[in-house]
Structure 1
Amino acid sequence: MIVVLLNVYLVILFCLVKFRIVPFNLFWKVSPILVLLILLVGLFIPMNWGAPQGPALVVRNSVAIVPSVAGEVVEVPVKANSPLRVGDVLFRIDPAPYQSQVNALQAQLKLSQLRLAEKTRLQTTPAGRAFDVEQYQAEVDQLEAQLVGANWNLEKTIVRAPADGYVTNLALRTGARVANLPLSPVMAFIDTSETIIGVEVPQIDARYVEPGQPVEVTFKYEPGKVYGGKVESILQAVATGQTQTSGTAVSSKTIETLPFVVRVKLDDAEFANRLPAGSTGDAAIFTEHVSAAHVIRKVLLRQIAITNYINPF
């Protein structure tokens, strides 16, 4: 853009000299250099913090599906990358062992309740003891608690979608045996109920970025188009500023100046929901500073949107 503006000035200067409106003296000979410096120092360098620009990325939360109970898979009704609603069945585990446990506990509970009723009636006579009633009451309470857990295990033999989304990289098949181990997920579920768009902004340009500021984003997925939005939040940490609990002493490491990540939300929610995870693009954030540069940043962003038709990188 600075080259375009400088060329425009050169054309105007040529016309002014050609028609003898201005003399072609030393001042006008060096004026292009002065104009270049003024554009750099007064407009284009301040534009980087007045209207910062950076790469944008669409990400979605991935849920590792780990069953709550172990057993043999008897049905996998889902298909990879097919839309699912929250509560849809992902797969079913053989419920027979868990159903038998529920039946056994129900039978024991029924017998204990019957004995409790008998001991309660007997307590009203001289032959009854309060201890027997209390003992059977505790047994009934214990069996009822175990029955709640058994019913929960039985219910968890049907694994359901935790949110709206889809299953990707589906390798689970009927007959496979699954375990309730956190390190052994059986499938990956992509949550599409929330679209997260992050924009990387260099630290030197992020000083004036605040939530609520207008944003424009263009994606390679939709070349030639620019979408408006707002800044949602600025992530307050990057990897280099993170410490973790460790049994070792502090060790020095190379300090890197990583960009900050700004989370934005598009005005067109329907389009945002259609964006595949991993979609990339460029975004510009318009702060309250250096307003004169906002028009130039908008033009530059639209140039990028047009070149997305042919630029795969």
Structure 2
Amino acid sequence: MDLLIILTYTAFCIAIFKIFKLPLNKWTVPTAVLGGIFILAGLLLLMNYNHPYAKYAKDVFVTIPIVPQVTGTVATVDVQPNIEVKKGELLFTLENTKQKIALQQAEAALAEAKNAVLQKDESLVAATSQVQKAQAEYNRAKTENDRVQQGHKSAGANSPFTQQELDNKLSRFKSAEATLATAKSEQRRLKLVTESKILGENTAVAQLQAVRDDAKLNYERTFIRAPVDGIPTQIAIRPGTRASQLPLAPVMSFIPTEKRQIAGVFFQNSLLRLEEGMPAEVVLDAVPGKVFTGTFVSLLPAMAEGQIQAYGSLMPASMIAKHGFVIGIIELDEDLNDYNLPLGVQGQAVVINTENDILHVSVVRRILIRMMAWLKYVYPIK
């Protein structure tokens, strides 16, 4: 862009010398040269500081690595590359015979447990009836035993009850008492089993439901679906490919459908003139002669050139000496998809600082960015 300004000034000087037929001598030529140095130097300083220029700008986008949550062999590939799909649409499937068998086993065990719970409920009803029956037998035996014992005690030597009758009544009473205790114990056991619940469900059934849900989840994970609306691209998997659940081995790249943004690389001396909401203009190598308007939306809060991590090596001095650039994000007013452009196209960008544009230097910046757009018909210069 600086070269364009110099060439433009040179063209103006040549035109003036030709039109007005000025002589080339020791006065006119130095005047033109020195005037150009002062004028262009002041213009460049004001323009580069107040209206930041990104020599390198690019359409940035996010890709989602598709990694299956279970390991298996690819059975089918159900999408075409570079064709947009909706969230939840099937991308590919894994062989799932093992997961299907595990799910059937879990469902069978759950059905058996539910049936067992119903049987235990019936057993509790029967045990309750046994307690009632034993209680009635106990009450009758106790009444007869008390009556005989009381009558024998009251009659004394003239008692009509023999010792054998007394022993029989007492023995029947003790037997009824033991039967009642046994029936109550069985009733308590079945009651504990049937009333053992978690979140309103029998504990044994709840455990098998969890096993069934886990098996069902593993079965469903053999069907890999689109995480969001987007485009699967560069599909290299085929039936028979081994797909691992390790996150270091994705089997497909997926590009989510999002609003496209331009990331520009700016010099650090432009930081005080980069504010959110400022107007911006972008030219792309792929669209010669076109200037895209937009808005500067954000400045990334950190530069990669300054980051350090905890590891066993010392930080080299070369990392400190490496010059860092700030990255700003620009959102365009137009949709680049209307131009059928692939993601990742590159170009240049400028941010216009209208508040500090006292001398209206932004006009020059706008003219230069348009000149660059026209030159891209010939060659995409930087």
Residue 15 to residue 69, structure 1, CA distance change in 2 (3 Å) = closer
**Counterpart of 1:195?**
260
**Counterpart of 1:216?**
281
SS at match of 2:204: helix
SS at match of 2:361: helix
**Quick check: 127-136 or 167-176, which moved more?**
127-136
CA distance in 1, matches of 2:210, 2:327: 48
**Counterpart of 2:70?**
69
Residue 3 to residue 252, structure 1, CA distance change in 2 (3 Å) = closer
Q: Do the aligned residues in 2 keep the contact of 1:6 with 1:35 (CA within 8 Å)?
A: no
C-alpha deviations, 1:121-157, integer Å up to 9, x for none?
A: 4345232314433389222111111222222112221
Q: What is the Cα deviation at residue 104 of structure 1?
A: 1.1
**Counterpart of 2:345?**
279
Quick one: which amino acid aligns to residue 38 of structure 2? I
Q: Do the aligned residues in 2 keep the contact of 1:228 with 1:266 (CA within 8 Å)?
A: yes
**Counterpart of 2:47?**
47
What pairs with 1:148-187 in structure 2 (closer than 5 Å)?
148-187=213-252
1:304 aligns with 2:381: no
| 2:8 aligns with one of 1, 4, 7 | 4
**Counterpart of 2:81?**
80
Q: What is the Cα deviation at residue 74 of structure 1?
A: 1.7
CA distance in 1, matches of 2:273, 2:336: 29
**Counterpart of 2:193?**
132
Q: What is the Cα deviation at residue 167 of structure 1?
A: 2.2
| 1:259 aligns with one of 325, 330, 342 | 325
**Quick check: 274-283 or 5-14, which moved more?**
5-14
CA distance in 1, matches of 2:68, 2:284: 37
CA distance in 2, matches of 1:211, 1:217: 16
CA distance in 2, matches of 1:295, 1:105: 73
Q: What is the Cα deviation at residue 199 of structure 1?
A: 0.5
Q: Do the aligned residues in 1 keep the contact of 2:260 with 2:336 (CA within 8 Å)?
A: no
**Counterpart of 1:21?**
none
| 2:357 aligns with one of 290, 301, 312 | 290
Q: What is the Cα deviation at residue 248 of structure 1?
A: 4.2
SS at match of 2:317: coil
Residue 29 to residue 174, structure 1, CA distance change in 2 (3 Å) = closer
CA distance in 2, matches of 1:29, 1:183: 66
What percentage of aligned pairs have identical amino acids? 29
C-alpha deviations, 1:219-252, integer Å up to 9, x for none?
A: 1111110110001100121111112122445443
SS at match of 1:281: strand
Q: Do the aligned residues in 2 keep the contact of 1:10 with 1:32 (CA within 8 Å)?
A: no
C-alpha deviations, 1:104-133, integer Å up to 9, x for none?
A: 111111111121233234345232314433
**Counterpart of 1:35?**
35
Quick one: which amino acid aligns to residue 365 of structure 2? R
**Counterpart of 2:157?**
none
| 2:307 aligns with one of 236, 242, 265 | 242
Task: Report the TM-score, using the length of structure 1 for normalisation.
Answer: 0.87
Residue 115 to residue 281, structure 1, CA distance change in 2 (3 Å) = same
**Quick check: 299-308 or 117-126, which moved more?**
117-126
Equivalences, count: 307
Residue 193 to residue 163, structure 1, CA distance change in 2 (3 Å) = farther
Quick one: which amino acid aligns to residue 193 of structure 2? D
CA distance in 1, matches of 2:293, 2:207: 59
Which blocks of at least 5 consecutive residues in structure 1 are unaligned? 19-23
**Quick check: 49-58 or 134-143, which moved more?**
134-143
CA distance in 2, matches of 1:44, 1:208: 15
SS at match of 2:213: helix
C-alpha deviations, 1:62-101, integer Å up to 9, x for none?
A: 1111111122222102222222232221101123222221
User: When you count helix as a share of all residues, which structure comes out higher?
Assistant: 2
Q: Do the aligned residues in 2 keep the contact of 1:75 with 1:91 (CA within 8 Å)?
A: yes
